[in-house]
Amino acid sequence: MSRTGKGKGIGLIVGGLVCWAGAIAVGVFAVLAMLKSFAMLDTLQGPGKTTLSVAEAGVVTVWHDHRTLYEGRTVNHPEDLPGGYSFVMRDASGAELPMNRGMSMTMESGATERVAVGTFELPAPGDYELVISGPPAEPRVFSVGEGTVMGGLGPFFGGFFGAMLLGLAGLGLIIGGIIVLVVARRPALPLPPGAPPAR
């Protein structure tokens, strides 16, 4: 077996394994990014208020949990909120932040079905107060989550395709390395009489 061929083949296989390890790492990152977009900071009944503590600036989404289990009871309401509900977010100084109602998004997680009410852009880490006003006779359950669904799906699909490309590249390198090793194992053909030795 040619030492040069053996070394090249092993190097290709090692490179392929490194690509596979990178694909796994990228895939894990993509899944964690998606799960973070589904993480809830708090769940409360409105009308009501809560204080949110965030470690970094970013977007939070207010969700209407129209089907869920809350404090031991089953909640089942239409997706649309009753008239009269409003949402106010204040920073530590008391300044109000505008709510972006954007496009409607839905989410299902176990026994909970949610529809997005709107988002707030939090400019800095710290504590924020969310005040939910509405008719006391028609209470509803709300959750506040970090980020948005689309914000989580973007990194997920990007990571998925990145992991797939790394996996295919790793497969190609491993197959190439095996071929090089097989070729290197073949015995060298005898030289014709009088021919100079190969260098």
**What is the tens place of the pLDDT at every residue in 2-41?**
556 677 878 888 888 888 888 888 777 766 666 665 678 8
Beta bridge partners of 50: 130
Q: If you average pLDDT over each of 67-71, 181-185, 195-199, which comes out highest? A: 67-71
Confidence of residue 162 (pLDDT cuts 50, 70, 90): confident
Residue 179's pLDDT is 83
Let me know if 43 is exposed, middle or buried by CB neighbors in 10 A (0-12, 13-18, 19+): middle
User: What percentage of the chain has pLDDT greater than the value 90?
Assistant: 38
Confidence of residue 115 (pLDDT cuts 50, 70, 90): very high
pLDDT, mean over the chain: 82
Provide the greatest CA pair distance for the chain. Answer: 105
d(CA 175, CA 178): 5
What pLDDT is recorded for position 32? 66
What is the reported pTM? 0.61
Q: What is the pLDDT of residue 143?
A: 93
Q: Report how far residue 147's alpha carbon sits from residue 155's, in angstroms, rounded to the nearest whole number.
A: 12
Torsion angles phi and psi, residue 33, rounded to 5: -65, -40
Q: Which of 43-47, 104-108, 143-147 has the lowest mean pLDDT?
A: 104-108
Q: How far apart are CA 125 and CA 20, in angstroms?
A: 37
Mean pLDDT value of segment 104-122: 86
Q: So what's the pLDDT on residue 190?
A: 62
How confident is the model over 83-109, as a mean pLDDT? Answer: 88
For residue 92, give every residue at least 6 positions away whose Cβ sits within 8 Å of its Cβ, in sequence order, or none: 126, 127, 128
